[in-house]
Amino acid sequence: MKIILNSIINMLKSKLILLIIPLFFSWSEGIKTTQKPLNVVWISCEDMGPILGSYGNDVVKTPNLDKLATEGVRYTNAYSTVGVCAPSRFSIITGMYSARLGAHNMRTGDYHNYKTPEQVTHRNDIGVIDKAGKNIPEYEVVPPPNVKPFTEILRANGYYCANNFKCDYQFNAPFTAWDEVSSTVSFRDAPKDKPFFYVWNTLLTHESRIWERSNKPLTVNPKDVEIPSYYPDIPQVRNDIARKYSNIEAMDEKVGEIISQLEEDGLLENTIIMFWSDHGGNLLRQKRAVGNSGLNVPLIIRYPNKIDAGKVDDRVVSLMDLGPTVLSLLNIEPPKHYDGKAIAGKYEESPRKYAFGTADRFDESTDMQRSVLDGRYVYIKNFMPELPLIYRNKYRERITMNSKLIQMDSLDVLEGNAKYIFMKTKPFEEFYDLETDPYEVNNIIDDPKYADRINNFRDALQNWQNEINDQGFIPENKIVESFWPNLIQPKTENVEFKIRHDGLYELTSITKGASIGYQIDEKIGTNSWNLYHKPILVGDKQKIVARAIRLGYKASEITSN
């Protein structure tokens, strides 16, 4: 009898253990939790398509990112919403299409880095004319009141959120979005009792570093680079591509340092790492392009304990999906109004069929293009076909090869695919098969073999534009007027204080959509603001100040209890 009882007890213990084991996993793919909540680190680079070793480029040496890919999940069909940074980063921070909310023009003002409300200025004349011939001043996009930086959700859930250091959201980053934004902040600055969400941005691969780092030694030999077929094989092209590759290798070294720091601090196996670029490549017909060359980006996610190590995911994903995915992985339900979808975690959604891209005003140059991509095919609709594909843009012409190619075009000495991208007018539609035409130079829009597929892409674009009420059809001056009537920036109303019967303070602003920050005692007067998200306890002898901000509005005055 005793033996039988022991057997039953052991069997029950085994079943109990099997029941308990799933509790140690926070979601279906098996991220193991510990006593500490998960941390998240974003490693964000600029202006780079998927040309890493792990994506098949054996000329660029990226051992740290290649290792990250072998220990994580590598996405092959990840896309930005726009082929340039500010509208793309607007979509990332808000989870919304920039063309839905009038944030699609590049760029609206000098908001690259965080500024206090007192540091923000707006110039009335920056030499920009919209498609209606109207002057466009600097302005800030004013989204609907329910649209806020997703980091505020993380802060409300107890996360320390730090950004090193780029913002560039088409509005000045609100003081409620981050605990700290600076060029020196690290995840190591997080309070010991808080999990962190940390963003490290590197400019090493940015378009501007092609000329700004021209005096740095090349780590890639120009004779070894891969030249896209839409460039002629000339020394200027080889040298600038070698500089691009060398900058990527320098970036990879910095990535290795970040990962090593996490490992040294014992945080690597409690941290989700996401590596991505804000849009595609940084050279001509890459940056600002609406096709695959401008929108396809690398995306690698490494999970604690190397869950799904080495997996290759071919789903179509958007950079808008990053924010909701972070929330989902941390068991926080993303807001329903997001265009972005969680691609992992508790609230993972069904995959999207298409990625949609936009191109409108870039600096002083105006156009309107829309695209649909599914990982294999690219459909582009040109709404201003009378304009050339390669238009003049002062900023990008500081790259030697770009200005050289423009000169060669003016002399009519370009041939073949290089001549193709310098078309003087654009076809109304373009369609490319990336499997046979990876450089998008053979437009098969009139090939009857693809007629049905092309119609599907046309319908998808039309339905998407209708669904988001595409703001690209509206002259930019009208959009600015809708944000700032009479070109006067609205101001957020001051915070009001109310003491409840239980002694807790309630803070409110009558401006719909306003977020509120507050400071207590020694924090007063600093640039660090706590995010108000629930009533707070303030001691009898403590002083509290608060101010409110709605995106695109002026901040309120600082008021006190």
Catalytic residues, by residue number, are 85
Q: Token pair for residue 269?
A: 């196996």
Strands 504-508 and 536-537, by their bridges, are antiparallel
Order of all β-strands in the sheet with 160-164: 180-181, 160-164, 196-201, 39-45, 271-277, 296-302, 73-79, 311-318
Q: Name residue, tokens 């991509």.
A: 373
Cis peptide leading into 473, omega within 30 of 0?
A: no
Beta-carbon contacts of 332 under 8 Å, excluding residues fewer than 6 positions away, are 153, 154, 157
Distance of alpha carbon 514 from alpha carbon 76, whole angstroms: 38
**Residues across the chain:** 561
Of 179, 70, 56, the C-alpha closest to 530 is 179
DSSP E strands: which ranges in 328-436? 355-359, 369-373, 377-382, 429-433
Distance, in Å, from the CA atom of 230 to the CA atom of 438, rounded to the nearest integer, reads: 11
- For the record, the structure tokens of 447 come out as 């090939």
| Terminal CA-CA length for the chain | 74
Token pair belonging to 63: 């051992």
The DSSP code sequence of 494-556 is: PPEEEE-TTSEEEEE-SSTT-EEEEEEGGGTTSS--EEP-S-EE--TT--EEEEEE-TTSBPP
Segment holding 28, helix H or strand E: none
> How far is the CA of 305 from the CAs of 32, 72, 269, 286, in angstroms?
7, 10, 6, 36
